[in-house]
Chain A
Amino acid sequence: MNIKIAYSGKNDATDAVADLKQQLSGVDSKMIIYFASSALDPNSLSDGMQRAFDGSTVFGCSTAGEIISGKMLKDSVVAMALDSTVAETVKIEVVEKVSADPDVSGAMASFGQYFGQDLHDMDVRKYVGIVLIDGLSGAEEQIMDQIGDLTNLTFIGGSAGDDLKFRKTFIYANGKGYTDAALLALVKTTSGFDIIKTQSFRELDKKLTVTKVNEARREVLEFNDQPAPKAYAEAVNASLENASSRFMTNPIGLMVDDEPYVRSPQQIAGNSMIFYCNVLEGMELSLLESTDIIKDTTAALEAKKKELGKISGVINFHCILRTLELQEKGLTDAYGKIFLDVPTIGFSTYGEEYIGHINQTSTMLVFK
């Protein structure tokens, strides 16, 4: 067994750890990654997981809901154990105080030192980075930007959640629960990896060019030289009062080769709009319209299976806004079942990371 997955619905951290340990026994794991409801005490959970899987590299984060093959869960912990036939070597680094002034250069230098190779010389088909970031830190763009400047290696991941309480999210590593932190893991895979980036939107023929922003607040003051809410409302053909009801189905996208990098509006704040990720001045964005998450995700996974021939496992960083849409439509079971025959864990995130920070997307790390 090269990858084994497990989940526990126990509401006490010690019990949940014992449950996972029992289910994951028999795997000579090199790496354990886990995602847990914020209902579980972060320090007890992280300490318990570290002790239970001593000898493995153990890390994870808190969530706004969990995913495992066949199911979307709440108030649980999901875990994946990978042995050396999948993950040859793993190194993790925690970067703290990311909301003030994140700096990943030390972590990246440490990877180079650990693997005995300059980051630029590492094989981009073998090495993959996983990034888990405090979902309330607002630091995702800077972190992804810095990583992208320092390496060509793929870093994929998500922003930790706290079950929609929006109070505190946690990164689990080194037997501790960190807040205001990011975890970077660099995995030397044995058989390689791939990624899936899927979002369920089509591009509409309406452009919103960003003409004034407050970058630090992820706030757009003007689109097309008009107050942002007015321009957005006009684009979706809604009244100003009803414009926010269209956010979920009509976010906007930065198009790169016909692929949207989704920017989701969060709220209208007076004469401006706040987004869940950065929108920069001068960006030309397209209005998007939602399509079918189940159909699109199934197609993306099937295409990848066909391309690779075999998938050993998937880690799915799945936007909470997609989860909310699935819940609203009664489709969470159908979504879980997409991954029934592929060992998969994941979580509902406060943002997804792949090349940059994005929204309303699933970024998936696929182990060959």
Chain B
Amino acid sequence: MAGKIKVLLDAIIEKRSNGSPTLAATTRTKLILKGINPDKFGPNSPDDPVILKKVQDLAAKVGV
């Protein structure tokens, strides 16, 4: 499988920003500071289990 990380990251950004571009940018920055750069993941990115778990945990925390 591929692309799960991007789907989750997009969902996290959408949930936290609620349509606000400013909050979307802040959420992206928070992710980058956590070591997850959303720009590095696309629909064909492999589902690296370590990163996927980190993103899944974060998604659960923010209610995605």
Contacts and interface: CB of A to CB of B under 8 A. Distances in A.
B25 A356 contact: no
A148 B23 contact: no
A256 B29 contact: yes
Interface residues of B, number: 16
Most buried by A among B29, B30, B33: B33
A152 B32 contact: no
Given A149-B58, A254-B32, A281-B35, A355 B25 contact: no
Nearest to B61: A149
Contact of B26 (A145, A282, A284, A355): A355
Contacts of A257: 25
Given A149-B58, A149-B61, A356 B26 contact: no
Most buried by B among A256, A261, A284: A256
A254 B16 contact: no
A280 interface: yes
A148 B33 CA distance: 11
A124 interface: yes
Interface in A180-205: none
A283 interface: yes
Contacts of B61: 149
Contacts of B27: 152
Interface of A: 124, 145, 148-149, 152, 254, 256-257, 261, 280-284, 355-356
Closest 4 CB pairs of A and B: A280-B35, A356-B33, A148-B30, A256-B29
Given A124-B23, A149-B62, A355-B30, 14 more contacts: A145-B33, A149-B58, A149-B61, A152-B23, A152-B26, A256-B29, A257-B25, A261-B29, A261-B32, A284-B37, A355-B26, A355-B29, A356-B30, A356-B33
